[in-house]
Amino acid sequence: MILASSIRRLRLTDFRNFATLDLDLDGRPVCLAGPNGSGKTNILEAISLLAPGRGLRGAETTEPLRRSGDEMAASWAVYAEAVTAEADDISFASGLLEGGRRQTRMNGKPASRADLARHLPMIALLPEHDRLFAGPRADRLRFFDRLVAANDPAHGETLNAYEKLRSRRQKLLESGRTDPAWLDAIETDMAQHGVGLASGRLHALARLQAAIDAAADDVFPKADLALDGLTEAALAAGAGIQEAEDQLMTALAEGRDRDGAAGRTLTRGPHRSDLTARHRGKEQEAGLCSTGEQKALILRLVLAQADALSQRSGAMPLLLLDEACAHLDEKRREGLADAICGLGAQAWLTGVEAGLFAAFGNRGQVLAVENGSVQV
């Protein structure tokens, strides 16, 4: 049985343009309607800061501190009471304390954000993702790694470990202190984490593709996905873990001089992989599709990921869908509402007017956001 995670109470303190906010909610999708600049995305960002990482704006920890005129708050806090797959009443808190210390708590006790992610999984889709398939490779890979990490928080930890090693190796190479034994040790660890990353991505991709293929409606088009990367290709072709690690280690060792001279890691490790997508119906690269078509493709992908994730873990993630209805015609807005309700997910949607959420009817709860406050 799949149980949906939902936030039942959300409280913000001195978070961006909210001095205080205290919302009582039920499990239905939450539709935030309000003019530009009213604070809709800020609310989604606040929720995203309960998960690992820098939240959906990639902000520095002090950035959300509420500013008004010349004054700046000394701390910010996000507090949520939720129903999750494991508990009927569990609280999560995340914030920056006075003095600049970041803190995360679960049921009032200190907890890591990876712990929070295990209890309150979430998937975010932002307006800039509309052009994800036509945009820079690194953005696409980051988006995909986030999806994988929503399914498996250990993936995020492996990615951090790999990136730390990569930057340490890069510094050594650029400083000219190329002690081979030291580099060997770093590259051995990089290869181990790198193969873990590639393998996690491949498994997640297979589950995601299966969920896309299984979708019964034709409101959102289907994409054929693939991963383009040295290690992903080796594993997909049947290489064992050791073989793939050796291949990556060799590539790194051979790439030392070039990476050092270039000032970046040109070696084709998993940091340089890419997610490719083809619009199945049109038999076209996703990057060449129109903006509207790309938006529809990515919505299908996100809905399928929520489905895949919940099938695997038994917990339906929160969906943070910023301006998801913006470029959708009425039929697709209805399709989106039906898909979200079909999943049973508590989606958090934003839009400039309540009419965009008409298709939810009483299946959703519409809140009016205005200038740092919310009317229920």
Ligand X SMILES: Nc1ncnc2c1ncn2[C@@H]1O[C@H](COP(=O)(O)OP(=O)(O)O)[C@@H](O)[C@H]1O
Single residue of 8, 28, 40, 155 touching ligand X by CB under 6 A? 40
Single residue of 41, 84, 267, 310 touching ligand X by CB under 6 A? 41
**13 contact, one of Mg ion, ligand X, none, CB 5-8 Å limit per kind:** none
Q: Taking the complex as a whole, how short is the minimal distance between the CB of residue 370 and Mg ion, in angstroms?
A: 14
* Rounded Cα distance, 80 and 163, in Å: 31
Q: Which stretch binds Mg ion (CB under 5 A): 39-47, 94-102, 217-225, 229-237?
A: 39-47
Residue in this structure with the two tokens 């088009």, named with its chain if needed: 221
Q: Taking the complex as a whole, how short is the minimal distance between the CB of residue 56 and ligand X, in angstroms?
A: 11
DSSP for 266-324 reads -S-SGGG-EEEEEETTTTEEGGGS-HHHHHHHHHHHHHHHHHHHHHHHSEEPEEEETTT
| Subset of residues 282 to 311 that bind ligand X, contact rule: CB under 6 A | none
Residues 6+ apart with CB under 8 A from 155: 145, 148, 149, 197, 200, 201, 204
Nearer to Mg ion, 40 or 193 (CB): 40
Where does residue 349 rank: exposed (0-12), middle (13-18), buried (19+ CB within 10 A)?
buried
Q: Residue 159 forms beta bridges with which residues? A: none
Decide if residue 55 touches ligand X (CB under 6 A). no
Q: Taking the complex as a whole, how short is the minimal distance between the CB of residue 28 and ligand X, in angstroms?
A: 21
Q: Residue 123 forms beta bridges with which residues? A: 319
Nearer to ligand X, 80 or 277 (CB): 80
Backbone torsions φ then ψ of 374, nearest 5 degrees: -130, 130
Tell me how many residues contact ligand X (CB under 6 A).
15
Query: Residue 136's CB: how many other CB atoms inside 10 A?
Result: 11
Residue in this structure with the two tokens 């002090």, named with its chain if needed: 62
Q: Taking the complex as a whole, how short is the minimal distance between the CB of residue 40 and Mg ion, in angstroms?
A: 5
| Subset of residues 317 to 376 that bind ligand X, contact rule: CB under 6 A | 350
Question: Residue 366: which region, alpha, beta or left (left: phi > 0; alpha: psi -120 to 50)?
Answer: beta
Decide if residue 95 touches ligand X (CB under 6 A). no
The CA-atom distances, in angstroms, between 132 and each of 154, 219, 276 are 24, 20, 11
Report whether 33 contacts 366 (CB < 8 A). yes
Binding to ligand X by CB under 6 A, coded x per residue (else -) over 104-133, reads ------------------------------
Residues 6+ apart with CB under 8 A from 61: 96, 100, 102
Q: Taking the complex as a whole, how short is the minimal distance between the CB of residue 321 and ligand X, in angstroms?
A: 12
**34 contact, one of Mg ion, ligand X, none, CB 5-8 Å limit per kind:** ligand X
Q: Which stretch binds ligand X (CB under 6 A): 36-44, 144-152, 203-211, 240-248?
A: 36-44
Single residue of 19, 22, 24, 37 touching ligand X by CB under 6 A? 37
Decide if residue 41 touches Mg ion (CB under 5 A). yes
**39 contact, one of ligand X, Mg ion, none, CB 5-8 Å limit per kind:** ligand X
Residue in this structure with the two tokens 């920890």, named with its chain if needed: 61
Single residue of 4, 30, 31, 39 touching ligand X by CB under 6 A? 39
| Subset of residues 57 to 86 that bind ligand X, contact rule: CB under 6 A | 64-67
Nearer to ligand X, 83 or 347 (CB): 347
User: Which tokens belong to 306?
Assistant: 């929520």
Q: Taking the complex as a whole, how short is the minimal distance between the CB of residue 17 and ligand X, in angstroms?
A: 4
Q: Taking the complex as a whole, how short is the minimal distance between the CB of residue 258 and ligand X, in angstroms?
A: 42
Q: Residue 279 forms beta bridges with which residues? A: 223, 284
Q: Are strands 318-321 and 347-351 parallel, antiparallel or unpaired?
A: parallel
Q: Which stretch binds ligand X (CB under 6 A): 32-40, 112-120, 195-203, 260-268?
A: 32-40
R_g over Cα of the chain: 22
* Rounded Cα distance, 26 and 346, in Å: 9
Residues 6+ apart with CB under 8 A from 361: none
Report whether 368 contacts 375 (CB < 8 A). yes
Q: Which stretch binds ligand X (CB under 6 A): 38-46, 262-270, 302-310, 312-320?
A: 38-46
Contacts with ligand X, residue ranges (CB under 6 A): 16-17, 34, 36-42, 64-67, 350
Contacts with Mg ion, residue ranges (CB under 5 A): 40-41
